[in-house]
Amino acid sequence: MKKPFAAAADENKEAIAALLLTELKDNRDLLEIGSGTGQHAVYFSKLMPHLTWHCSDQSHQIAGIQLWLESAGLKNTAAVFVLDVSQDWPQQSYDAAYAANIAHIMHWSQIEDLFLGLSTVLKQGACFYLYGPFSFDGQFSSQSNHDFDHFLRQQDPDSGLRDKNNLDELALKNGLIAATSWALPANNHILSWKKT
Ligand SMILES: C[S@@+](CC[C@H](N)C(=O)[O-])C[C@H]1O[C@@H](n2cnc3c(N)ncnc32)[C@H](O)[C@@H]1O
């Protein structure tokens, strides 16, 4: 099996890293949800040796992530494990959580499960960082995001770009308050929420 590669994971990795480097400077254990190929895990954990990066994803992604982790040979990446947000969550608690490009793929019920799970694994004061395209106050920030949302909903009516207001409301129900929103290139953002 060849290492899988996702072009979307390569896009903006420098901009995401610049932000995470500041945000995660005092954190030790980070849970990544929906690690995909494992490209982000390898790229970010190499830049943050003080942090242990815990990859997770659905079972069909695990072998590819393992290939990326093994070939990088980093000391600060933990063994990848299966985590479907609608199933069992780990018993461990984390100083931070990160996910990229998952909210527009997941159904809303899965996003509900995501925030419920995060409320059980994040330590008090820990943040969840979510990268991807979003809408704000019901508005798309670009025509390309509008078109992407349309494309996604044609493939799967339960998918599509999520609105920050809806995510903030859901987060709050699960004890996470909206923290910051950073605009990144190509009409993407990182949103963060802090566990109270
Ligand atoms: C578009 S990919 C993004 C992968 C990677 N984070 C990236 O940015 O390249 C969406 C990811 O969400 C994961 N995913 C979808 N549904 C999930 C669920 N119910 N629980 C956990 N992960 C899920 C998929 O397996 C996939 O890895």
**Pairing between β-strand 176-184 and β-strand 188-195 as defined by DSSP bridges:** antiparallel
Please give all residues whose beta carbon lies within 6 A of any atom in ligand 1, as ranges: 6, 8-9, 33-37, 40, 57-58, 61, 83-86, 100-102, 105-106, 110
Of 109, 191, 187, 110, nearest to 149 (Cα)? 187
Determine the distance separating the centroid of ligand 1 and the alpha carbon of 86, expressed in angstroms: 13
Hey, whose CA ends up nearest to atom 18 of ligand 1? 84
What pLDDT does 159 receive? 98
Choose the residue to mutate in 58, 59, 61, 104 for probing ligand 1, maximizing ligand atoms within 8 Å of C-beta: 58
pLDDT-derived band at 191, boundaries 50, 70, 90: very high
- pLDDT tens-place string over residues 26-85: 999 999 999 999 999 999 999 999 999 999 999 999 999 999 999 999 999 999 999 999
Closest protein CA for atom 1 of ligand 1: 101
String of DSSP letters for the chain:
-PPP--HHHHTTHHHHHHHHHHHTTT--EEEESS-TTSHHHHHHHHH-TTSEEE-EE-GGGHHHHHHHHHHHT-TTBPPPEE--TTSPPPS--EEEEEEES-TTTS-HHHHHHHHHHHHHHEEEEEEEEEEE-EEETTEESSHHHHHHHHHHHHH-TT-SPEEHHHHHHHHHHTTEEEEEEEEETTTEEEEEEEE-
Q: Which atom of ligand 1 is nearest to the CA of 35?
A: 6
Mutate which of 16, 57, 61, 107 for ligand 1? The one with the most ligand atoms within 8 Å of its CB, which is 57
Q: What is the pTM of this model?
A: 0.98
CATH superfamily, region 7-195: Vaccinia Virus protein VP39 (3.40.50.150)
Task: Report residue 94: phi and psi, to 5°.
Answer: -130, 155
Q: Can you give the C-alpha Rg of the chain in angstroms?
A: 16
pLDDT in tens, 104-142: 999 999 999 999 999 999 999 999 999 999 999 999 999
Atom of ligand 1 nearest to the CA of 85: 20
Q: Record the tokens describing residue 132, joined without a space.
A: 């991807």
Amino acid identity for residue 139 in this structure: Q
- Residue spans of the domains in the chain: they are 7-195
For ligand 1, atom 15: residue with the closest CA = 106
Flag the least confident range among 5-9, 98-102, 121-125, 173-177. Answer: 5-9
Summarize pLDDT for 151-188 with one digit per residue, the tens: 999 999 999 999 999 999 999 999 999 999 999 999 99
* High-pLDDT (> 90) share of the chain, %: 98
Ligand 1 atom with the smallest distance to the CA of 83 is 21
